[in-house]
Chain A
Amino acid sequence: MLELRDICFGVETENAEKEILRNINLQVDERFVALTGPNGGGKSTLAKIIAGILVPTSGKIFLDGEDITGLSVTDRAKRGISYAFQKPVCFKGLTVKDLISLAAGKSISMTEVCDILSEVGLCARDYVNREMNDSLSGGELKRIEIAMVKARGTKLSIFDEPEAGIDLWSFQNLIQVFERMYRDINGTILIISHQERILNIADKVIVIADGQISRQGTRDEILPSLLSSKTCSVLTEKM
């Protein structure tokens, strides 16, 4: 279980400190939790703080009761946190198979790599030996990014806007990937998304706006008001 206590995060600007997140208190123990809200509200910052990429200005983070606030990205990964970037990182020379193997933490067989890739809707044969570079399309890179998280199979998997930057057709297939993941997963999925179909399978929906949690609850509690809300115009536009 993940718990955030009073998380604040600010950045120094020329004249003053700008607050990105203010007093975030949160418990995540459901199987599928969606973080949503307008762009610039602090969602990705929060995900990076959980993964250890950013250090909060104040506040504490607990994973299964252990205070992990001071732990590095590596140590958090080893304790069971995975993070799929919104913008997948390219590597010259590292192939899809290399990265899936690194994610799995061991040298894995071609069959295992193929299984993981087909779970995210990629025909493995065409991809295993491809370099993870920008010759792959945005949708392909996203799927491989998701496959890496799947290969790890940790207790907490964070996905930062898996739908961002991919076309509508790819997205239809991607939704199925998450629906399947929801059925199969042993841990918790924390997903940042603007997509109604993603929010619709969430056990819990958390709305972050202006650096704060504005609402949280079950999807039945949150979604109806969210979809009719004028304050979330960005969100509805994206849907």
Chain B
Amino acid sequence: MDLIQKNLLQEIAGLHEVPEGAYNIRANGELQARNTTANIDIVTKSDKSGIDIIIKPGTKNESVHIPVLLSKSGLQEMVYNDFYVGEGADVTIVAGCGIHNGGDQASKHDGLHRFFLEKNARVRYVEKHYGTGDGTGERIMNPQTEMELAQGAYMEMETVQIKGVDSTVRTTRAKLGKDAGLVIHEKIMTHGKQFARTDFAVDMDGEGSSVNLVSRSVARDHSRQEFISVIHGNNRCVGHSECDGIIMEQGSVTATPSLTANHLDASLIHEAAIGKIAGEQLIKLMTLGLTEAEAEEQIINGFLK
């Protein structure tokens, strides 16, 4: 692995070297390294590009890292990864994509991640996207995530994109069974002329299911963001979505929530607040001795922490 790739790996997975546990590192479209464990198997798909990650029932406290690194300008790929999480398993999955584009051609990584959680399985899924490189070529990522949660399953997804991705459309779909729970925390910051769209759609089919979607975003310069959240409550369930956006300079954020209650005991809430940094927040921090720029930095850092 070269220095650029190591840096990308550090940014998206917090890893200095190869991780412990199961992992699959993909670099410039090819398998670079893989490790499986007694409970977690990783198998290359035969019909298309991608892998199957099979986690045995009852697997506890194990992790899977599947970072993707792109450092060759102009590389474009589409990857299909499927996660099968057995009954009662409790695991952490860290995915993410880092693109370094030093050339003038667009680099693009599209991925479809499908999660199948069996009864009472629990997954913490962390996904980070990061772009770097001083080339003029665009860095494009379009991650799609699909989740099916069986009875009592629980999934927590953290998705972070702070820097360097020029264009992203993030599509997330989920179906929740009885007593299944889904929590999604999204953090996103766009600069320059970047564009980011987040598109969530969740069907709460099972009785007692719940979903909580929380998005915090900052749109700077001339960047644009769209936040779409569609929640269907088809049974007795609780759904909440929240979009907090800070706009700076000429940035723009559109939030489009949609709640549909198809059951009398579906309780659905959406909250959205978009605006510039509140003047009183800046003034408060300035009375503590910070300059306006320092205050702004602290507020943004805290907001996206």
Contacts and interface: CB of A to CB of B under 8 A. Distances in A.
Given A92-B302, A102-B298, A73 B216 contact: no
Q: Which of B290, B298, B299, B302 has the most CB of A within 10 A?
A: B302
A29 B293 CA distance: 33
B287 A83 contact: yes
Contact of A74 (B280, B292, B303): B292
A37 B76 CA distance: 70
B287 A82 contact: yes
Nearest to A92: B303
A105 B289 contact: yes
Nearest to B287: A83
Contact of B289 (A74, A91, A92, A98): A74
A19 to B, nearest CB: 24
Given A92-B302, A93-B303, A94-B299, A102 B216 contact: no
Contacts of A120: none
B159 to A, nearest CB: 17
Interface residues of B, number: 22
A93 B246 CA distance: 13
A77 interface: yes
Contacts of A92: 216, 244, 302-303
Contacts of A146: none
B284 interface: yes
Contacts of B299: 91, 93-94
Contact of A102 (B283, B285, B291, B292): B285
Contacts of A99: 288
Interface in B251-266: none
B290 A51 contact: no
A76 B111 CA distance: 52
A5 interface: no
A215 B303 CA distance: 46
Given A53-B283, A92-B216, A93-B305, A152 B244 contact: no
A51 B302 CA distance: 25
Interface residues of A, number: 24
A89 B281 contact: yes
Contacts of A98: 298, 302
Given A94-B298, A94-B302, A98-B302, A51 B287 contact: yes
B287 A91 contact: no
Contacts of B283: 53, 73, 89
B288 A148 contact: yes
A89 B280 contact: yes
Nearest to A73: B286
B286 A72 contact: yes
Nearest to A77: B289
Most buried by A among B244, B289, B299, B301: B289
B290 A102 contact: yes
Contacts of A72: 286
Contact of A77 (B216, B278, B288): B288
Nearest to B299: A91
A24 interface: no
Contacts of B281: 89, 91
Contacts of A83: 287
Contacts of B289: 74, 77-78, 105, 152
Contacts of A77: 286-289
A85 interface: yes
A181 interface: no
A2 interface: no
Nearest to A99: B288
A152 to B, nearest CB: 7
Given A89-B280, A89-B281, A92-B216, A102 B288 contact: yes
Contacts of B272: none
B277 to A, nearest CB: 10
B286 A74 contact: yes
Interface in A137-171: 148, 152
B15 interface: no
Nearest to A103: B288
Interface in B214-260: 216, 244
A173 to B, nearest CB: 24
Nearest to B285: A102
Interface in B264-280: 278, 280
A25 B118 CA distance: 75
B169 interface: no
B285 to A, nearest CB: 7
B189 to A, nearest CB: 13
Given A73-B283, A152-B289, 12 more contacts: A51-B287, A74-B286, A74-B290, A77-B286, A85-B280, A91-B281, A93-B216, A93-B303, A94-B299, A98-B302, A102-B285, A102-B298
Closest 6 CB pairs of A and B: A93-B302, A94-B302, A77-B289, A73-B286, A89-B284, A93-B303
